[in-house]
Structure 1
Amino acid sequence: MSPEQIPVLSSDVRRRILEHLNVVAGQAPPGAPTGRSAADLAAYLGLHVTTVRFHLDQLVSGGYLVTAFERTPRVGRPRKLYAAPHLDPEAETETQRHYQVLAGLLAQSWPVDGGDQVTPEEAGRRWASGHADPSRASTEAAVTPGRWLAKVGDMVDQLEHWGYTPELSTSAGGRAVTITLSNCPFLALARVRPDVVCGVHHGLITGALDHVGEHDVAIEVRPFVGPTRCLVKVTTETPFTTAAPEGESR
């Protein structure tokens, strides 16, 4: 992430705009418009429209919002509308809900003005830590392939909560797990800001594995190895005391 991109969501005003537009998108009936004009948002925030336009420009430049001109039969210049990126209108409601979870996480995880900056990765890590199953908490790393893969399964449960149907394969005697993520529910945002979406995913994986005692893990996120497919590879650095069962993929 470049230094220019980091401060975009450090502003309370920009976070409020993003959160409001995502709430609008989440509550709108299928096919209903979700865009709002600068004047609409200024009235909602109680700020001058010029101030709001400045913040909107920052969000658009950062890829957090998209714009369109209102279609109307009225004479005159059409209004410019701002909206949160959305998926295909035909996408299922459940998939849209997962996108709102991501947007809400990003909007709420940045501190108030003057606070410490929170990266997308840290936001994802905090979410994973806060939503992990307390009964699965551990302070010890796995030392057998079976225990390691069981812990990876806990992490995969987190990904499934976000709308994925991951496919797994193992290599290196069970030490490395490659996870294929297809049809990302956050595809619209990932295409314009892969650093944000992949950062959150990296944090989710880190937080989920930390919760089960896996701190010494190499994580590689490879976005868009296909049009709608990404790969995640997680490899434990902890030595195993038992080899992988014969016949396991290498």
Structure 2
Amino acid sequence: MPLSTTTPDVATLLGSPVRRLLVDTLTTRGSMTAAQLGEIVGLHVTTVRFHLDQLEAGGLLTSSFLRSGGAGRPKKVYAAATGSLATDRRDSEGVAMLAELLAEVLRPGEDGEPPTPHEAGRRWAVEHVPESHEPPAQTPGRWMGKVGAMVDVLGQWGYTPEVSLTEGGRTARINLAHCPFIDLAKKNPAVVCGIHRGLIAGAMEQLGEGEAEVSLEPFVAPNLCRAHVTASLPLRP
């Protein structure tokens, strides 16, 4: 029987706590062999190697062979894949949060059904963004202040958004260039983009803008996604 060539689903891979731990360890500590990782996480090297090979097939890790100065076989060294979910140490916080939410999407809720990606992102924002008791914004200045607070939340995920206003300031157009999860988003746009649209909507909800209209356009350019957030009320000077 021929071996399957199907690429493992990234969300499924990160549903395993062991695999999330391996990705996080390589992201924060740098490249290692399976034996070195096994010592750190307390698992047999054969078990670790199995999970590492699955993560590599899913595009989250890369491997290379390192030859020592002496005789013997070169050692296989694993590292976080550049441009994937595990990009570099600066994004480790965003990596951990996204991995947590990917697992949440696979976990059944009280009704026996897992949350949608949008709902998982919204729940994260509701749990982590302080609630504001301000009424919905009615002026461009107050609206921009709330959009700015939401942009700060996106910064926690590794984004550096660029914001511009349209429709008399009522709609914020947010360019998300060079997404830190670009490779994963290309493979799983419904999941990753759904989580981030829910994250934006949930953050605005916590900021008193629960009726704001939120949309997300994935890949308007090869390395650019764009969000639109429109105030629920007409804005006056």
For residues 181 and 114 of structure 1, the distance between their equivalents in structure 2, rounded to whole angstroms, comes to: 28
Q: What secondary structure, in the 3-state scheme, does the structure 1 residue paired with 2:209 have?
A: coil
Shift of 1:206: 2.2
- Where does residue 132 of structure 1 map in the other structure? 129
Q: Can you give the 5+ residue segments of structure 2 that lack an aligned partner in the other structure?
A: 1-6
Deviations 1:157-211 (A, max 9, x none): 2234445443222223333211123344x2xx42344446545533431221111
Q: Which residue of 1 aligns with 2:18?
A: 13
Among 213, 219, 233, the residue aligned to 2:208: 213
Match of 1:103 among 95, 114, 121: 95
2-structure distance, mates of 1:119, 1:79: 41
Contact 1:71 1:78 (C-alpha < 8 Å) held by counterparts: yes
1:178 maps onto 2:173 in alignment: yes
User: Which residue of 161, 165, 170 maps to 1:166?
Assistant: 161
**Against the structure 1 CA distance between its residues 166 and 6, is the aligned structure 2 distance closer, same or farther, given a 3 Å change threshold?**
closer
Q: Distance in 2 between matches of 1:58 and 1:201?
A: 26
Distance 1:3 1:140, change over 3 A: farther
Report the counterpart of residue 22 of structure 1 in structure 2: 27
Distance between the aligned counterparts of 1:69 and 1:118, measured in 2? Answer: 41
- Amino acid of the structure 2 residue aligned with 1:14: R
Aligned to 2:74, what secondary structure does the other structure show? coil
Counterpart of 1:174 in 2: which secondary structure? coil
Give the equivalent residue in structure 2 for 1:92. Answer: none
Cα distance change, pair 82–126 in 1 and its aligned pair in 2 (3 A): farther
Corresponding residue pairs, total: 219
- Following TM superposition, by how much is the alpha carbon of 1:124 offset from its aligned partner in structure 2, in angstroms? 4.6
> Secondary structure of 1:20's match?
helix
In structure 1, C-alpha distance between the alignment counterparts of 2:120 and 2:62, rounded to whole Å: 23
SS in 2 for 1:55: helix
Q: Which runs of 5+ in 1 are unaligned?
A: 25-33, 88-94, 246-250
Matched with 1:39 is 35
- Correspondence 1:233 to 2:228: yes
C-alpha displacement at 1:155, in angstroms? 0.7
**Structure 1 128/80 Cα, relative in aligned 2: closer, same or farther at 3 Å?**
same
Query: Do 2:129 and 2:206's aligned partners in 1 also have CA atoms closer than 8 Å?
Result: yes
- The Cα shift of 1:74 comes to 4.0
TM-score relative to the length of structure 2:
0.71
Whole-Å Cα distance in 1 between the matches of residues 76 and 116 of structure 2?
A: 30
Deviates more, 1:141-150 or 1:61-70: 141-150
**Residue matched to 1:154:** 149
Do 2:184 and 2:192's aligned partners in 1 also have CA atoms closer than 8 Å?
A: no
Supply the AA of the counterpart residue of 1:56: L
Partner of 1:28: none
Normalising by structure 1, we get a TM-score of: 0.68
